[in-house]
């Protein structure tokens, strides 16, 4: 009598680790989880179809965990077994259902709206509206009515090139990522097998960096932060170097910071509009790490006007002080610049911490407008921005410690 397979548990599925070679975890009645060397967890159902002497062994894919849970995979298996009992090949039935779905209009727009509805509860309302607006303006009019399984890379590229043609290069890159999210969702829900945007790498015009060198690789950022900690030059310059990535203000705003603008008790730095590029006052929430730097330097410079003074207390730090320090630490002009701390923050907070872009842009001192077209004021979204700045400071600490960092969830 064959040994009965012990069913899988949710904990065993969740904690399964990849090995050098792929392996299987069996749940019973033909259902198993395939663990790939890259960490993929793929549900598979093995079955036989046909008469005993001519039976064929076949395998059906049920999607990937965690998009398809253990409970979902078991239901798919049970449904397939019912079809087999009736003499129907579940693979043939699935193919017929896919074709029927196409004929009934399972288009890119239908799948995209389904994806949007699934993830909308996790987003801020304004972010969800912005995503749907981008789909409705730039993508649905061109490929929205096409069956998602029929869309080719060339068709997506044509859509993205239309956006580029308006001079909106960065928006074209964001639209590509948005399409990829929809296609990946379609893969997870067994609508398609491949993401057509995967073949478009390098097809779009790179976004201009305006010659402002920046380190945006997490490992490189960690190395830079450790180099700053080991800097042997002026203590004032070292404090400014530590403060720069935590606040990511413009170099001129950093070196001209005044003690009268700092409120240590409230953990805020109020930069007056006269010092800002856009002539709008900016409130910079200060993380715990930023307060520690200010507390350390205050006994040295607190009696004067500037937080980071130059050779005399009456003048701010030199424009070249940060650049010279970076060169002293071995960073060439095409590797890192004083302005690069802003690009570093803009990229990593967006890509790694997945925080709303409008919060990041507002904190960068850029012109940002609310859904009604009104300019954000200096205190708008302050609780969210405070949380963002502390999350960012903690992330930098983890990079400096060379920790293995897992992407943060959206803070809202």
Q: Would you name the residues annotated as active-site residues?
A: 250, 277, 339, 342, 366, 376
> Phi/psi of residue 179, each to 5°?
-60, -40
Which residue, chain included where needed, has tokens 């730090």?
Answer: 317
Residues forming beta bridges with residue 32, ordered by sequence position: 26, 44
Structure tokens at 181: 């999210």
Structure tokens at 44: 């598979």
Measured in whole angstroms, how far is the alpha carbon of residue 139 from the centre of its chain? 21
Angle in degrees, 0-180, between the axes of helices 288-301 and 382-400, rounded to the nearest 10 = 80
Sheet order of strands, 56-64 included:
23-28, 31-35, 41-49, 56-64
Pairing of strands 23-28, 268-271: unpaired
Q: Is 213 left (phi over 0), alpha (psi -120 to 50) or beta?
A: beta
Residues forming beta bridges with residue 269, ordered by sequence position: 262, 284
- For residue 49, the SS3 value is strand
């Amino acid at each position: 009598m064959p040994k009965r397979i012990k069913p899988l548990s949710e904990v065993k599925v969740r904690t399964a680790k990849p090995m050098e070679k792929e392996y299987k975890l069996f749940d019973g009645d033909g259902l198993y989880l395939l663990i790939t060397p890259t960490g993929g967890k793929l549900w598979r159902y093995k079955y036989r179809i046909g008469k005993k002497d001519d039976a064929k062994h076949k395998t059906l894919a049920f999607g990937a965990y965690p998009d398809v849970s253990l409970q979902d995979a078991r239901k798919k298996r049970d449904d397939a077994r019912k079809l087999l009992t009736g003499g129907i090949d579940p693979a043939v039935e699935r193919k017929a259902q896919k074709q029927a779905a196409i004929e009934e209009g399972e288009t890119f727009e239908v799948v995209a709206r389904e994806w949007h509805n699934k993830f909308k509860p996790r987003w801020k309302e304004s972010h969800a509206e912005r995503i749907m607006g981008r789909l409705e303006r730039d993508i649905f009019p061109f490929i929205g009515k096409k069956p998602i399984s029929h869309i080719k890379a060339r068709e997506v590229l044509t859509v993205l090139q239309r956006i580029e043609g308006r001079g909106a290069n960065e928006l074209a890159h964001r639209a590509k990522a948005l399409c990829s999210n929809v296609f990946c969702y379609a893969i997870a829900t067994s609508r398609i097998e491949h993401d057509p945007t995967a073949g478009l790498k390098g097809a779009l015009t790179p976004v201009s960096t305006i010659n402002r060198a920046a380190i945006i690789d997490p490992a490189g950022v960690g190395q830079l932060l450790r180099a700053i900690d080991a800097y042997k030059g002026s203590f004032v310059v070292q404090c400014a170097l530590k403060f720069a990535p935590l606040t990511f203000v413009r170099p001129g705003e950093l070196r001209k910071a005044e003690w009268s603008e700092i409120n240590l008790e409230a953990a805020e730095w109020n930069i007056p509009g006269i010092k800002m590029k856009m002539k709008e006052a900016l409130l910079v929430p200060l993380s715990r790490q930023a307060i520690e730097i200010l507390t350390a330097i205050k006994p040295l410079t607190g009696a004067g006007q500037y937080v980071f003074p130059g050779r005399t207390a009456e003048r701010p730090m030199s424009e070249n002080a940060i650049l010279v320090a970076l060169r002293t630490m071995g960073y060439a002009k095409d590797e890192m610049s004083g302005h690069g701390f802003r690009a570093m923050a803009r990229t990593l907070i967006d890509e790694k911490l997945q925080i709303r872009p409008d919060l990041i842009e507002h904190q960068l001192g850029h012109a940002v407008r609310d859904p009604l077209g009104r300019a954000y004021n200096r205190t708008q979204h302050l609780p969210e921005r405070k949380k963002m700045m502390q999350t960012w400071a903690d992330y930098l600490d983890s990079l400096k410690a060379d920790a293995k960092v897992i992407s943060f969830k959206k803070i809202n």
